[in-house]
Amino acid sequence: MRRLVFQSIILVSLILSACSGRSNSHSISSWEFISIDSTLKGDSAAIAFIEPYLTQLDSTMNEVIGYSSATMISDKPEGTLSSLVGDIVYNAGLEILNQQDIEYGSTMALVNVRGIRAPLPEGEVRLVDAFQIMPFDNNLTAVRLNGSLLKEVFDHIAHRYGEGLSNASFTLLADSTASNIIVAGKELNPEESYWLFTSDFIASGGDKFFMFQRADTIIATNIPVRDLIIEHIKKEHSQGKTLIPDTMPRIIVIK
C-alpha cells in the first residue's frame, strides 16, 4: 500500500509538470497527516483496474517448475543452495566460452552467498521461489585472470568466511586465509591463466572483490543468473529428475 501511494504521487507529479511549460513557485498553506495502515481503505476503481493483472501474475508465479528432494539453503561458509547456484553458473559460463570458441584451461565459478535471499523448498518448486531466491537482476559474467590474482580472490573469500564455489575447493585457515586451493582438480598455479564465472555484481567489485578490476579479460552477458536457475530447474523437471543437494564439502574450515 505504501509503495502504491508513493508511485501514485510520483505519477501525478509527472503529469502536472508535463502540462505546464512555465516554472511556478508554490507554497503549502495547509496539510493533513494520513496514516498508511490497515485502516486506510483502498481506491475501488484502482483495485478493479489492477485486479486482473494481479490474478494473472499470481497464476504465472505459482507455476510448478520442478521438485526438490530436500530444502536447500545458502549459508556460511557454504550451503547446498549456494553450491547448486554455483554449479548452474559454472555450466552456463562454460557454454559462453564454447559458443565464442574461446580456448580455456582451468575454470571455476563463484557466487556470493548474500545474493541468495531465500531457501529452495523441499517438494514443489514454484516460479515465485526462484524470484525469491534471486531477486536481483545480476547477469552472468566470465573473468580471465592469472593464478596470482585468483589467490587474492580465494583469500578474500576466506576473509568473508566462505562463498558459493563450483569446480574449486580450499581450506579456510584460522587466520582467515585460504590454503590448499584446488581448481579443476589441480593445485592453484600462480603462473597459470584461469577463467572464473560469476555475476556482474562481483566482477565489478561488489562485496569488495576489487581485485577483479585487475583481471585480464571480462566478458559481460545479458543473461540473468535467475533465468539460469529457472532454466536448470525446468530442464531437470522435464527429464523427470528431482533436485538433489550436493553435500560434498568445498570449503574445509580449520579453527
pLDDT number for residue 37:
77
Query: Does residue 4 surpass a pLDDT of 90?
Result: no
Please give the Cα distance from 167 to 180 (Å, whole number).
14
**Minimal CA–CA distance to 100: which of 63, 140, 45?**
140
Please calculate the CA angle 140-230-249 and round it to the nearest 5 degrees.
70
pLDDT number for residue 66:
99
E-assigned strands of 52-158? Answer: 64-68, 106-111, 123-126, 139-146
Pairing outcome for strands 123-126 and 64-68? antiparallel
- Which residue carries 582451468 as its cell? 106
Q: Per-residue pLDDT averaged across 140-145, rounded?
A: 99
Q: Per-residue pLDDT averaged across 49-78, rounded?
A: 86
Amino acid at 148: S
pLDDT number for residue 22:
53
Least confident span in 1-10, 13-22, 59-68: 1-10
User: Considering just the CA atoms, what is the radius of gyration of the chain in Å?
Assistant: 24
Q: Residue 38: inside a domain, yes or no?
A: no
Under a CB-based contact definition with an 8 Å cutoff, are residues 78 and 157 in contact?
no
Q: Model confidence at 167, in pLDDT bands (50, 70, 90)?
A: very high
Q: Is 155 helix (H, G, I), strand (E, B) or coil?
A: helix
Q: Residue 37: inside a domain, yes or no?
A: no
**Minimal CA–CA distance to 121: which of 233, 199, 227, 231?**
233
- CA dihedral 200→203→206→209, nearest 10 degrees, is 160
Q: Per-residue pLDDT averaged across 83-101, rounded?
A: 98
pLDDT number for residue 25:
62
Q: Look up the CATH number of the domain holding residue 190.
A: 3.90.780.10
Q: Model confidence at 33, in pLDDT bands (50, 70, 90)?
A: confident
Query: Does residue 146 surpass a pLDDT of 70?
Result: yes
- Return the H-helix or E-strand segment holding 81: helix 80-99
CB atoms within 10 A of CB 136: 13
Tens of pLDDT, residue by residue over 178-205, are 999 999 999 999 999 999 999 999 999 9
**Minimal CA–CA distance to 163: which of 127, 191, 121, 196?**
196
Count, residues in the chain: 255
Q: Model confidence at 43, in pLDDT bands (50, 70, 90)?
A: confident
Q: Per-residue pLDDT averaged across 198-218, rounded?
A: 98
Q: Residue 151: inside a domain, yes or no?
A: yes
Mean pLDDT of the chain, nearest integer? 89
Q: Residue 181: inside a domain, yes or no?
A: yes
Q: Residue 97: inside a domain, yes or no?
A: yes
pLDDT number for residue 34:
72
Q: Residue 25: inside a domain, yes or no?
A: no
In Å, how far are 5, 8, 78, 164, 175 from 44, measured between CA atoms? 14, 15, 48, 47, 61
pLDDT number for residue 46:
73
Q: Residue 16: inside a domain, yes or no?
A: no
pLDDT number for residue 23:
54
Under a CB-based contact definition with an 8 Å cutoff, are residues 162 and 251 in contact?
yes
Please give the Cα distance from 54 to 239 (Å, whole number).
31
Q: Which residues span the domain enclosing 213? A: 65-253
Query: Does residue 92 surpass a pLDDT of 70?
Result: yes
Q: Residue 84: inside a domain, yes or no?
A: yes
pLDDT number for residue 175:
96
HSE-CB of 84 using CA atoms within 13 angstroms: 28
The x, y and z cell numbers of residue 170, run together, are 580450499
